[in-house]
Every structure is written in structure tokens, then in C-alpha cells.
Structure 1
Amino acid sequence: MQLDIFENGREVMLRNDAVLALERRDALAALQACDCLSQEYPDDESLPSLRVLADCIGAAEVGRDQAFRDHASLSEARQMLQGPISDAAQRTFGKAAGAAWLAVSWQELARRAGSLAFDARKPQDHAAPMWLLAGHWEAAAQAVSTIESWRRKPVPLAWMAEARLHLLGLRACWPLLAELGWLSPALLEDVAQRSPDPLLPRLIRNFEASTGGAEIDDLSWFPAWVLIDRPDLREHLAPAQASQHSPPEQAMRLLVELLGLERQGRHADIVARRKVLRDLQPSLYAAAALSTASVRVSQVL
């Protein structure tokens, strides 16, 4: 909420007192300011949101040193924060400032959720996604690393990919992104939408534009397509760990191999491998053959 320093009205002054207390996360002062505003101006339209936020920080002070005892209690707190509290913060502070204010609350929930194990039935009730919402990338990555076989589970894998995009940058994250695309194309799209590097969502838009309506419009084929558009990323995609040996994974590994063979000038092997790619995915083979963005790959194919 924009403070109006030019307005001398009593109502504005009381409202601003509440907002300032909320910005300081002073629960007692915020509640007192809300009470004053309620007594003098009970119909003030900002009052319900101000009270929701004052109650939020008051509850946070009470529970600060109390770890969540189970996933159900964490779920209840998470849903409150995602729902009415988030709405109240945006109405009071605006979108950007509201998100910054909420980040502190997400941090508090993440810290209190640290002892709860990952439950695939309730994946959002874990510390990792809350650390992400708080913008604490290292804490998020650490929380994911405690999950057994996290790299084989789509949701934790997506959390780690998002955290490392912020910590290490896009080039270091290509193996995780490829594995995520093979396991869950929908989660790859979600991560891309929040990527700090605009190249990732731009490449996905280019992929969708170039393959729309074809057999390879599923983002599981995106890692393979990237090597057609950006063969310079071969060294970054090649370390992706073995997944389920799906056709999209096989296609990417074939392209990694073809690019290596082309560098070595092994033309007989190139011919054999390109036939495998053509049989595996004719649409991807055609996209590679017609690509003008990568002269080297088009020459290989």
C-alpha cells in the first residue's frame, strides 16, 4: 500500500500506522493499530486485510520455535499462507512488495518444516518448496538433497533444478533439465516459467513454434531438440544421468553421439546412427535435417 504523506486525514494516518507496523513485522503494534482503526472507522475497506496480516505475524511469533509435528499441521499453515494471507498481502502492499513480505513467512514455515520427511502423496508439504518461495536457493537445494533418490523423483528433481538455476546458472543445469523433461514435461515447463535465465523459456517457445502440431510437441523431446538448435550445448547435456531409456532420452543421446562422430569425421558411423534416429523419431530427424540454426548438425544428418 502506498503511504500518502500528503493526506492529513485521521483515517489515512491510522491505516498507515498499521501498514508500517506490518512492514516491521511488529505484531503487537499492528494489532493495536488495527483496533484503533476499527474503533474509529469500522467500515474501512483495508481493515480485513490488515487484520489477516496482523494475525499472521502474531501467530508466527507464537510458533517460531515450534517445529511442525506432522504434514497435516504444515499443510494447514501452507494453505493459509497461499490463500487468504497471500491475498491480503497483495491488497495491502501490492504485488511486488507483497511477495517480498510473504517471503519472510515462507522462510519461517520452511524452517519449522525442516524435520518432516518428503511424502510423495503430499509433495508440497515439505521444506524445499517453501525455501524456494522464500528465495533461499541454497537452503532449498540442501532440503532436496536430504530426500532419498531425489534425482529419480520428478517433484524433488524440479525443486533442485530451480534452486540450481539460481545458484549455478543455466549451463550447469542442463543435465537436470533433460532428466526432468524425460520424467515430467509439465514440471519442466513450470521450472522454465520461473527461470532466472530468459534463454530457457525462449528455447522452449522456439521448440514449440518449430514443432507445433508435430509428433514431437511434447517437452520430453525438448532436450534432443536443443542439440539441433544449439549443438554447442553438447558438453553440457551429455552428462545427464540415465533415466527410463525412453525414446526422447534415446534421441538426445543419439544426437550427442552424432555430434561427437561428426567432430571425428567418422562418416560411416554417422550414416548408421542417423538411420537409427530416423527410425526412432522421423519428425525429430526431419527437424534436424531442415534446421538452419545449426549448420553442423544439419550436415551430420
Structure 2
Amino acid sequence: MQLDIFADSRDVMLRNDVLDALQRRDAVSARQAWQRLAGEFPDDDTLAGLATLIDVLDSDVTTPFVDHPALAAACGRLNDEVEPAARRLLGDAPGRAWMASCWRTVAQQAAALPFRAEVSDLHAAPLWLRAGDWGEAGRAVERIESWRRIPAPLTWMAEVWHRAGGVESALPLLTELAWLSPGRLADLLYRLGDASIDTLRRKFDANFEGAGQTADLAWFPAWVLIEKPGLAPLLRDAQPSRQTAPERATRLLLQILSLERQGNQHELVERRKALRDLHAGLYAAYMKTR
């Protein structure tokens, strides 16, 4: 068999030795393999990235962070240096998988840091999410007082419920998040990549008579009830929020759907009028289906 000079060249073999050890998370073997590669090929353009990944394996993984700036520094390094190197050298999907253990370590180190609204994303919960551990992420959120009334932890828990139980499980929290923080909902829907929600979102964006801004997503749950009235039992589980107009419209539509089944025409007329007063475009969309 003829030797493939590209696949079997010395530098490729030495580089693969480092990568194999990294995949096993064997820091000692990875360092030794890296030294062989650096000794024979000092100009290899992967040396710096490989050294970054090896350093992560070698770093102290037991000491809790003393404050939020320390956590910010660690997260910044993982985001800016380590993850790009892992995805470039190991491949995109394998690199992301390799990073899960790194995020798990940082989440453990951040476990004792309290939630601070001014640095809301510096908390163990979103780190557990990046590690793919939905159970630990949920437990971290539950330790935050009144988490269901605060945009950041509500976002994290909505993701936990979706990852663990699917869209039906998460729909009440997604509804509350729409009312509380449409911007965070937009970011979360992008991360989730849920085909069923994305289909509704595209139709909402195309047809809803709003300002054409992210803030329009506050009306998304109400619009969904018009498009998919069968979801009403799930949306009823959404807890009261700030009683904004989009929330009131959702509650009105839940009442309207119930009154339609009961055939209560007098109260139905009153609720429809109230919906029209809240949002004429939403009311028009509702009437098109009747």
C-alpha cells in the first residue's frame, strides 16, 4: 500500500497524539505529546491552541470563586480563548462537547456565589446550562428568591424546562417571559431552535400588527391562543405577572375561549369589546377566525 504523505506525515501523527490525549482529558499525556510536537515542529500553527486546551486540563478545578469578578474572568477566558480553540482543533460539535466538562467545573466553582441583578449572567445556573446539566441548572435557579419574577433566572428555568420536557412543559414559563422580558425571550427562542415555536414565530412576525420590534413578542402568547387555541390549558398555567396590556389580552382570550365553549353570549360580547380596546389588530386577527 502506498504511503499517504498527507495523512501519515510526522507532524500529523504528533498532532493527533495531542488531540487523542485531550479527548481523553489526560493532561499529562497531552503535555508530553505537545512537547514532542513542539520539539520537532516549533512553527506548527496549532501549538498555541493546543497549549490553551492543555492548560485548562492542568488548572486548579477545586477552589471556589471568591467573587463575581473572578467568575467573570474565568468565563471570559473560556468564551474568548478556550472554546474557539476547542472547536477549531477538535471540530465544531466535538469541541462543544469537550467544553461541557469545562463549563461544569466553572459551575461547581461558582455554586456559592449569590445571584446579583447587576451582574445577572454571572451565576452557576447558566453555566450548568452550558454544561448540559438541566437538573443542576434547575436546582441553582430554585435557590434564587422570587426567581419567577426576575428576567434572567426565569429565562434559565424556561430553558431547563424546555430541554428536559419539551415545549409543552416550558410553555407557561415562556409565556411569563414574553410578558416580563421580550428581548430575553427572543434570545432564548434562538438558542432553543424549536421548530414548532419557530414556525409560529415566523408567522407572528409576518402577520402581527405591531411596531415591528422585539417588544412585540410580549403579545406573542395572546396571538398564539388565536392561532392555536388548543394550547389554552397550557397557557392557563402561566402565573400572574405585571398585569401589562399583553398579559391582560392573554387572560381575556383565555376567558373568551372558555365562554365560546359555554355559549355565554352576553359575557362573550363584553370580553371581545375589552380585547378590541386593548389591541385592535389582535382583535381583528381573532375575529378573522370566527
Q: TM-score, normalised by structure 1?
A: 0.91
Q: Would the aligned equivalents of 2:209 and 2:282 in 1 still touch at CA under 8 Å? A: no
Aligned 1:5-44 pairs, distance under 5 A: 7-44=7-44
In the other structure, the counterpart of 2:221 is 223
CA distance in 2, matches of 1:16, 1:161: 40
Distance 1:212 1:274, change over 3 A: closer
The code of the aligned residue for 1:248 comes to P
2:132 is the counterpart of 1:135:
yes
Residues 222, 246 of structure 2: 8 Å contact kept: yes
Q: Is the 8 A contact 2:205 2:212 kept in 1?
A: no
- The answer for the alignment partner of 1:193 in structure 2 is 190
Alignment CA distance shift 1:176-1:213 (3 Å): closer
Q: Call closer, same or farther: CA 1:57–1:65 in 2, change over 3 Å.
A: same
The 2-side partners of 1:117 and 1:274 are apart by 45
How far apart, CA to CA, are the structure 1 residues paired with 2:174 and 2:249? 15
Q: CA deviation at 1:261?
A: 0.3
Q: Which segment is superposed worse, 138-147 or 168-177?
A: 168-177
Aligned length: 286
Which of 251, 271, 285 is residue 283 of structure 2 equivalent to?
285
Q: Quick one: distance in 1 between partners of 2:212 and 2:98?
A: 44
Distance 1:39 1:212, change over 3 A: farther
Q: Percent identity?
A: 47
CA offsets 1:62-104 (integer angstroms, 9 cap, x no match) = x222111211111111110011101101110111111000011
- Contact 1:165 1:196 (C-alpha < 8 Å) held by counterparts: no
Q: Deviation at 1:195?
A: 2.3
For the 8 Å contact 2:209–2:281, the answer to whether it is kept is no
Within the candidate set 66, 70, 94, 2:67 is matched to 70
Give the equivalent residue in structure 1 for 2:247.
249
CA distance in 1, matches of 2:218, 2:182: 5
Post-superposition offset of 1:285: 0.7
Is contact 2:223-2:282 (8 Å) kept? yes
Instruction: Output one character per residue of 1:186-244: Cα deviation in whole Å (capped at 9) or x when no partner.
Output: 11112212226421222111111112665797100001000000000111101211111
Any unmatched runs of 5+ in structure 2? none
The whole-number CA distance in structure 1 between the counterparts of 2:210 and 2:114 is 41
Partner of residue 158, structure 1: 155
TM-score for both structures, normalised by structure 2: 0.94
